[in-house]
A = this chain, B = another copy of it.
Amino acid sequence: MSGKRDILITEVALRDGSHAINHQFTVEQVVSVARALDEANVPFIEVSHGDGLAGSSLQYGLSRTNEMELIEAAVSVCKQATVGVLLLPGIGTIKDLNAAVKLGVGMARIATHVTEADISAQHIARSKELGLFTVGFLMMSHMAPPEKLVEQAKLMESYGADAVYVVDSAGALLPHEVAERIRALKQSIGVEIGFHAHNNLSLAMANTLAAIQEGATRIDGSVRCLGAGAGNTQTEVLVAVLERMGIETGIDLYKMMDLAEEIVAPILQVPQEITRDSLVLGYAGVYSSFRLHAERAAKKFGIDSRDILIELGKRKAVGGQEDMIIDVAAEILKQRSAAGLR
């Protein structure tokens, strides 16, 4: 295997993929996936609850296995790969990070909403003190224009981040929107730039290629698309496409294909297709947590939940603003009545 890597891939199936299987990973599954990823020469493997360290809760979904056990298991079988964790300040704490580091983790990604980088200062600083490769992870990046994204990325850089990611959490960005965001960061920050896609609009690969073209050097993938919604950029397919383009990932394509088919596919309870639900989330550009609330409101007001989600997307509603859903539903009904549509 060539040691050369033009693009550094972080495999997120053991973190974002946790959403796809309701956080039911077992130690045995994590061991077999992490070992195969390591043997395929994947450089970074993220292991955490889907919502990051300490995400296991009634609110975000209870994990079947304590994530510290899963992290320890992954570290134990990795010979070359760096195991990383995701941490959302407000959900996970510095204490969780300290515990993960003791287990041998070498990378931490500190994630905030795209306009809230300021809450990552302490966590990024502590991650650097611990000697970790430290990533600032700007979620829901479609909700901020490039200028705002630049401002927030600069904050994370100032706190000490080694790289900043544009994260398309809702799978809502179009390729030209990804390109303009990565381009703006490239012109404004000195650290590495990464990109994390979701496939809700079938654009994960297109957006990933747009990001690479504009200078992103770190890319997230999930083997067999194991991630929230319609999943992420499918890692084994990305490796194949980049090989065809002459871009080296250092990853063994055949081993990744075999891992996807023989180890990961059997873990999936439901295949990673683009369903109506994930398509609506990508089209509206909203949090997946809004879906159930919108469906309840839709039933109550006799309207289509999609109209509610699309309106929430226009208003740039964020997590915690679930109360807005009832207001939006009531307004849609009122407008319809006024227009004589009902």
Contact = CB atoms under 8 A, between A and B. Distances in A.
Contacts of A224: 273
Interface in A229-286: 233-234, 236-238, 240-241, 243-245, 253-254, 257-258, 260-261, 265, 271-276, 279-280, 282-283
B237 A279 contact: yes
A209 interface: yes
Interface residues of A, number: 41
Contact of A234 (B202, B225, B234, B261): B202
Interface string A283-318: 100000000000000000000101000000000000
A204 interface: yes
Contact of A283 (B201, B206, B240): B240
A71 interface: no
A199 B204 CA distance: 12
5 contacts: A203-B206, A205-B206, A236-B279, A253-B283, A261-B275
A332 interface: no
A271 B245 CA distance: 28
A276 B259 CA distance: 10
Given A203-B206, A237-B274, A265-B273, 4 more contacts: A202-B233, A202-B238, A203-B205, A273-B273
B206 A174 contact: no
B271 A271 contact: yes
**Dominant SS among interface residues on chain A:** helix
A240 B279 contact: yes
A280 B257 contact: yes
Given A203-B241, A254-B306, A225 B260 contact: no
A224 B148 CA distance: 36
B203 A254 contact: no
A215 interface: no
A175 interface: yes
Interface string A179-218: 0000000000000000000010111111001000000000
Contacts of A241: 174, 201-203
Contact of A254 (B201, B206, B254, B304): B304
Contacts of A238: 202
Nearest to A254: B306
A282 B240 contact: yes
A48 to B, nearest CB: 25
B175 A209 contact: yes
Contact of A245 (B174, B257, B282): B174
A155 B178 CA distance: 40
A245 to B, nearest CB: 6
Nearest to A243: B283
